[in-house]
Amino acid sequence: MKAHEIFQRMSSATAGAVFLFLQKEEKAVYKAAIQGLANQRNLRSVYIERKPPNDRFRWMKAALGRPISDTLATHLLQAWLLGAHKPMLNEFLDALEIAHEEDGTVEELPACPPKEKIASAVDELLATYPAEIAAVYLHAFRDMDSAVQWPALSEILQQKPELQLKSQT
């Protein structure tokens, strides 16, 4: 699932949490996102910035759900996950015994760990964090490095209903 598809399928509440975090904590990223989305539609960014937050966030979610926005959607998901959800990222990587930086980034992903180990790490996330937040992270994680494929994670994402992002509002 590409980043724009994640935005298509995440709830409006989660999308709003993404945008609110970026607006408050990653101002430059948020402003660049608005500018990039405005440029795609031949709009001035001030047109978007002046919308009430609920309308602006709904518009941004829809715009980021378009294939043309995939690169920007990827960047925003990474900024949000690395900024707002470091503990979750670190716990998942620790459970899989994958070396990582303090901020949850990985220099090079290893080959796919055993399915049982991934399943256990996923279950730990689901026990600690909201299912939709864990699902967004796991889908983004799976697709962040196209050179390394983890078929076991893909199977788990398909098997667990709570991890299947469905078109939501």
> Within this chain, do residues 142 and 155 fall inside the same structural domain, yes or no?
yes
> Within this chain, do residues 32 and 105 fall inside the same structural domain, yes or no?
no
User: Is pLDDT above 70 for 38?
Assistant: yes
Choose the final residue of a domain: 84, 116, 146. Answer: 84
Its pTM stands at 0.91
- The more confidently predicted of residues 167 and 7 is 7
Half-sphere exposure of 20 toward its Cβ, with a 13 Å CA cutoff?
A: 11
Is residue 157 one of the residues assigned to a domain? yes
> Within this chain, do residues 121 and 158 fall inside the same structural domain, yes or no?
yes
Residue 146 is predicted with a pLDDT of 65
Q: Are 3 and 140 in contact (CB under 8 A)?
A: yes
User: Is pLDDT above 70 for 19?
Assistant: yes
Residue 160 is predicted with a pLDDT of 94
Q: Are 157 and 142 in contact (CB under 8 A)?
A: yes
Is residue 129 one of the residues assigned to a domain? yes
For residue 169, name the pLDDT band (cuts at 50, 70, 90). very low
- Ordered alpha helix ranges (H), the chain: 3-9, 12-25, 27-40, 45-49, 53-64, 70-84, 86-95, 115-128, 131-143, 151-159
Residue 147 is predicted with a pLDDT of 61
Q: Are 48 and 34 in contact (CB under 8 A)?
A: yes
> Within this chain, do residues 95 and 78 fall inside the same structural domain, yes or no?
no
Is residue 48 one of the residues assigned to a domain? yes
Structure tokens at 142: 């799976």
> Within this chain, do residues 97 and 151 fall inside the same structural domain, yes or no?
yes
Q: Give the DSSP H/E element, type plus range, for residue 99.
A: none
> Within this chain, do residues 58 and 101 fall inside the same structural domain, yes or no?
no
Choose the final residue of a domain: 62, 84, 106. Answer: 84
Residues of the domain holding 71: 3-84
> Within this chain, do residues 95 and 152 fall inside the same structural domain, yes or no?
yes
> Within this chain, do residues 33 and 103 fall inside the same structural domain, yes or no?
no
Is residue 169 one of the residues assigned to a domain? no
Residue 168 is predicted with a pLDDT of 58
> Within this chain, do residues 112 and 158 fall inside the same structural domain, yes or no?
yes
Number of folded domains in the chain? 2
User: Is pLDDT above 80 for 167?
Assistant: no
Each residue of 118-149: b (16+ CB within 10 Å) or e?
Answer: bbebbebbbeebeebbbbbbbbbbbbeeeeee
